[in-house]
Amino acid sequence: MTPTDRSSSLVRGDLTQIDRLAADVVRGVDLRFQPGSSGPKLAHPRSLNFIIDQGGSALTSGVVRGLLGIDDPFFITGVELVADQPGTLSIDIQRASFVDIPSFVSLIGGGGTVPTLTSTQTYADPLMTGWTSRQLLPDDWLRFQILASPAPASCTWLSVKLRLRPGS
């Protein structure tokens, strides 16, 4: 079958394959083939990105900054922060299963390395030393909370990126 034949069949209404591929793209599935495979596989680690925006005002501590639902099992392999400008603040990342909301528990725990900007604009932690949990399950929810933002706070938005690998 030539590419023209395939496109003609799609024009005639064979949308099943396109619908499946479109659904995979919306879910963030990487459609590249791995060597020796017979179909699309997750070819590389994923990431979840969450923007905390104070609408032009400096970020303040203590307030929960939104929720993010998890659909598939993932293992967190790193965390990165990027702010709009150099500043000093730290963030807690908390998790709850859908049935446990509003009882969120910190993923970082008491002895973990808290993601912190210290007069900088970027932060990366590929080791996540001391985190109590790095496993995310389907129907988990994450929430983000600014722990400390000393005066004068300068950052007006913060991007949180969790690096993930599929599975448990």
pLDDT tens, 18-55?
455 454 544 444 444 444 444 444 445 688 898 988 88
Assess whether 89 and 14 both reside in one domain. Answer: no
| Largest Cα span, the chain | 66
| Whole-number percent of the chain with pLDDT over 70 | 70
For residues 82 and 115, the answer to whether their CB atoms sit within 8 Å is no
- Rounded CA-CA distance 143/138 in Å is 15
Mean pLDDT of the chain: 76
Dist CA 17 CA 122 (whole Å) = 41
With 90 as the cut, is the pLDDT of residue 151 above it?
no
pLDDT at res. 168: 60
pLDDT (tens digit per residue) in 74-112: 989 899 999 988 888 889 999 999 999 999 999 987 778
Give the separation between CA 166 and CA 77, rounded to whole angstroms: 10
Same domain, 57 and 102: yes
Same domain, 36 and 54: no
pTM confidence score: 0.70
Is residue 74 within 8 Å of residue 166, measured between CB atoms?
Answer: yes
For residue 87, the model assigns a pLDDT of 86
Residues 103 and 124 in one domain: yes
Kindly state whether residues 67 and 92 are assigned to the same domain: yes
Same domain (yes/no): 3, 39: yes
Same-domain check for residues 66 and 147: yes
Q: Which domain holds residue 15?
A: 1-44
Q: Are residues 4 and 68 in the same domain?
A: no
Whether 166 contacts 92, CB under 8 Å: no
Q: Which of 8-12, 56-60, 73-77 has the lowest mean pLDDT?
A: 8-12
Token pair listed for 90: 């730290």
Contact 85, 154 (CB under 8 A): yes
Q: pLDDT at residue 5 above 60?
A: no
